């Protein structure tokens, strides 16, 4: 029996509504710190500190929300900080291993379109930043960059939240970065611009941060300098930061990079060239005895554990903020 006119009209309306959702502009996602305004950046850090101080006050902020946590790479801090962070806010975290899902079989755009119908938000930790951009383009819910080869923005937010926690203010701080000019360095540079901090980087020339990114940030007002000697980087530093020389997926470069990074270890001798108040940061996991020495990593000047803990609180602030972006009433046009 052919469907009656009322049923056909209803089906056509439902189809139109579904298509409108597919073709609507994507919601606001968070793929890089550069996407934030200065006010948004500082508000997120303040909110992260507020959540840390009074976690119970925010316990229902993600009630009835489901957050997909998609991983191409192994993880400790990203996975646990998001899972516990979502749960503490009343939401439900859903861990997804890229290798055991159909992300390996189907077009990424198709998988994300469907996944975004099941959940309220997607966090993805991937190799290629282009995958995140594609996900954000086709998702009907916000996408968070949990790490990519280009940037690690959640880490950068946690790092500057920790600096604010220790120093009280960010403007005028000098951050020394010694090591690989990688995704973490990119996010620190973007955050430094928002914070009004300056950066001195000592990296092997082959492993310096993106020249294009540096040019953009300098044009926007970032005080940054590349130096050849680690002692020059740390001599006026408030914060001394390093990261692993060998990122995941670069294991085949280990021997070459260890050789080329010789002399860039953050150790007691380097720390002696810095102001006595300077603190040491590392986003972890650390290769002890390589980019950082045991005595420095375990010293009272090391704040790496606080730094890791703060991932949870600033990510909670980020998720709440992204949901609020979706629910904000759209401004009406004046006639």
Residues noted as catalytic: 125, 152, 155, 243, 283, 311
Cα separation, 179 vs 202, in Å, equals: 6
**DSSP state, residue 39:** H
Non-local CB neighbours of 174 within 8 Å, separated by 6+ positions: 197, 198, 199, 200, 236, 237, 238, 239
| Exposed / middle / buried, residue 4 (Cβ in 10 Å: 0-12, 13-18, 19+) | exposed
Question: Which residues have C-beta within 8 Å of that of residue 325, sequence separation ≥ 6?
Answer: 27, 28, 142
Distance between CA atoms of 237 and 183, rounded to whole angstroms? 21
What CA–CA distance (Å, rounded) separates 84 from 92?
Answer: 10
Q: List, in order, residues 6 or more apart from 52 with CB less than 8 Å away.
A: 310, 313
Of 193, 198, 146, the C-alpha closest to 172 is 198
Query: Given strand 223-226, what is the order of strands in its sheet?
Result: 223-226, 198-202, 174-178, 239-242, 279-282
The partner residues of 122 in beta bridges, in order of sequence, read 68, 143
β strands within 233-320, DSSP E: 239-242, 279-282
DSSP annotation of 292: B
CA pair distance 40, 321, nearest whole angstrom: 9
Give the whole-angstrom CA distance, residue 272 versus residue 286: 21
């Amino acid at each position: 029996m052919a469907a009656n006119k009322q049923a056909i009209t209803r089906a056509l309306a439902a189809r139109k509504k579904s298509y409108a959702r597919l073709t609507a502009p994507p919601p606001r996602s968070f793929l890089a710190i550069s996407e934030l305004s200065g006010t948004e950046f500082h508000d997120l850090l303040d909110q992260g500190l507020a959540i840390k101080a009074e976690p119970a006050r925010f316990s229902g902020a993600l009630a009835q929300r489901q957050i997909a946590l998609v991983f191409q790479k192994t993880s400790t801090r990203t996975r646990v900080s998001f899972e516990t962070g979502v749960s503490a806010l009343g939401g439900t975290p859903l861990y997804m291993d890229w290798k055991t899902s159909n992300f390996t079989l189907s077009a990424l755009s198709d998988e994300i379109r469907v996944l975004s119908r099941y959940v309220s938000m997607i966090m993805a930790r991937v190799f290629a930043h282009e995958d995140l951009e594609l996900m954000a383009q086709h998702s009907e819910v916000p996408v968070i960059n949990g790490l990519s080869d280009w940037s690690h923005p959640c880490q950068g937010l946690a790092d500057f939240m920790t600096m604010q926690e220790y120093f009280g203010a960010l403007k005028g701080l000098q951050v020394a970065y010694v090591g690989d000019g990688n995704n973490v360095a990119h996010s620190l540079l973007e955050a430094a611009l928002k914070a009004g901090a300056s950066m001195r980087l000592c990296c092997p020339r082959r492993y310096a941060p993106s020249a294009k990114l540096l040019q953009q940030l300098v044009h926007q007002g970032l005080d940054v300098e590349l130096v050849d000697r680690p002692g020059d980087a740390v001599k006026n530093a408030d914060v001394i930061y390093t990261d692993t020389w060998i990122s995941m997926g670069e294991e085949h470069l280990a021997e070459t990079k260890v050789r080329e990074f010789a002399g860039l270890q953050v150790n007691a001798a380097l720390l002696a060239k810095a102001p006595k108040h300077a603190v040491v940061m590392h986003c972890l996991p650390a290769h002890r005895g390589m980019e950082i020495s045991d005595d420095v990593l375990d010293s009272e000047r090391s704040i790496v554990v606080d730094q890791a803990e703060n991932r949870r609180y600033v990510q909670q602030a980020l998720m709440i903020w992204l949901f609020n972006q979706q629910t904000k009433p759209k401004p009406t046009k004046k006639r």
